[in-house]
Amino acid sequence: MNDVVVDVRNVTIRFNLASEKIDNLKEYVIKVLKRELLFQEFLAVKDASFQIRRGEAWGLVGSNGSGKSTLLKAICGILKPYKGEIIVNGVISPLLELGAGFDQNLTARENIFLNGTVLGHSMDYMHKHFDEIVEFSELQDFLDSPIKNFSSGMRARLGFAIATIVRPDILIVDEILAVGDYAFQQKCLKRMDEMMSGGTTLIFVSHSIDQVRELCDHAVWINKGDIMQVGPVDEVCDAYMESMEKKVAKK
């Protein structure tokens, strides 16, 4: 039986960046129609290859703009590789932007059902898990308040509670633990650990190397789109941190 759940094969992801400044939409449309708009090729990910097996926990490390989030979006199917392919065997639950499906003018109660629908759950399913979501988010006193009055931490708590009521084959988490207090972060880490104990595969992005070391057993270090190292989490994190320390020392 093949236990590879994510197979990234020679993946390159390309964006076209406008090479000239355009101040308004009218000028942009005219240049597009006349085919006068010039673009500069930008490779966000370059020839990336690695395999993730069932039940493993992988961390993606690298500085801002290195291509981590772009690679995650490609694994989720949001972006299509310019070259190469990504084969996914299993159901993905992506936590790329908590609360992205919220309506700011609706209450938390209304948004629980709205966001659940966006994630593909039935009304019956959401009614069944409503109390669990509220208990985890600890927002019992704010259920009938509009989301627009919530802090970013409160929105993150509600979004995480909704997104993790299922136990997916593959859980993808991108920087969501940067929002919220310490207690919330520990609660999220505990839930992710429980999901992994049940066989869920984790792909995790965080600027907290300590969290990566704590949660993951493998890691990928990516720098400006280039895969620098793939392997056991401590080896990759050590190499990445050594590189960052040398970079700081040169300044």
Pick the CATH number of 4-250 from 3.30.9.10, 3.40.50.300, 3.40.50.2000, 3.50.50.60: 3.40.50.300
The letter for the amino acid at 156 is A
Map residue 90 onto helix, strand or coil.
coil
Higher pLDDT residue, 37 or 235?
Answer: 235
Q: What's the pTM? A: 0.79
Question: What is the domain partition of the chain in residue ranges?
Answer: 4-250
C-alpha 82/C-alpha 11 separation (Å) is: 7
Any idea what the Cα angle at residue 112 is, between residues 111 and 114, rounded to 5°? 55
C-alpha distances out from residue 104 to 115, 116, 145, 147, 155, Å? 12, 15, 10, 5, 10
User: Each residue of 84-116: pLDDT tens digit?
Assistant: 999 999 888 877 766 666 899 999 999 999 988
User: Each residue of 182-200: pLDDT tens digit?
Assistant: 888 888 888 888 888 888 9
Nearest to 232 by CA among 246, 251, 213, 245: 213
Share of the chain above pLDDT 70, in %: 85
Q: Under a CB-based contact definition with an 8 Å cutoff, are residues 71 and 13 in contact?
A: yes
